[in-house]
Amino acid sequence: MDRAEVDSRIRALIEPFNKKGVEVSDETTFAGDLEFDSLTVMDFVAAIEDEFDIIISMNQQAEIENYGQLVDNVQQLTEG
């Protein structure tokens, strides 16, 4: 799957969680810009895992701070 497709699918998934309608770019951070709390993170991660049939463990999540890193990680995982 190319990066653009991963990006567009995650963009669709993030919408219901993006309550403030923040404009999402690769630099957008989950904690800072999107103000995701830990419960939101869990639900959002579960949605991505189910969409791509992958696991993003909490250990991996700890390394992901912004949207671009998430897309890169998911792309790698779908290739694995």
Partner 1 sequence: MSEGISQADRPQALEAAGEPRDLFSKFDEIIAQREGLLASGVEDPFNLVMEKVLSPTRAICNGRDTILLGTYNYMGMTFDPEVIAAGKDALDNFGSGTTGSRVLNGTYQGHKEVEAALREFYAMDHAMVFSTGYQANLGIISTIAGKGDYIVLDIDSHASIWDGCKMGDAEVVPFKHNDIAAMDRRLGRIPEGAGKLVVLEGVYSMLGDVAPLKEMVAVAKKHGAMVLVDEAHSMGFIGPNGRGVAEEQGVIDEVDFIIGTFSKSVGTVGGFCVSNHPKFEIMRLVCRPYVFTASLPPSVVATAATSIRKLMHGGNKRAHLWENSKRLHGGLTELGFTLGTEEPQSAIVAVIMPDLERGAAMWEALLKEGLYVNLARPPATPAGMTLLRCSLCAEHSSEEVETILGMFERAGKAVGII
> Which of 17, 47, 51, 54 forms a contact with partner 1 (CB under 8 A)?
54
Residue 44's nearest CA partner among 24, 27, 79 is 24
Closest approach, Cβ 48 to partner 1, in A, equals 12
User: Which is it for the CA torsion 11, 13, 14, 18, positive or negative?
Assistant: positive
Return the DSSP state at 16: G
What track of x and - describes contact with partner 1 for positions 11 through 50 (by CB under 8 A)?
-------------------xxx--xxxxx-xxx--x--xx
What track of x and - describes contact with partner 1 for positions 56 through 75 (by CB under 8 A)?
-xxxx---------------
Query: Which residue bears the tokens 């696991």?
Result: 55
Dist. CA 29–CA 68, nearest whole Å: 9
List interacting residues with partner 1 (CB under 8 A).
30-32, 35-39, 41-43, 46, 49-50, 53-55, 57-60
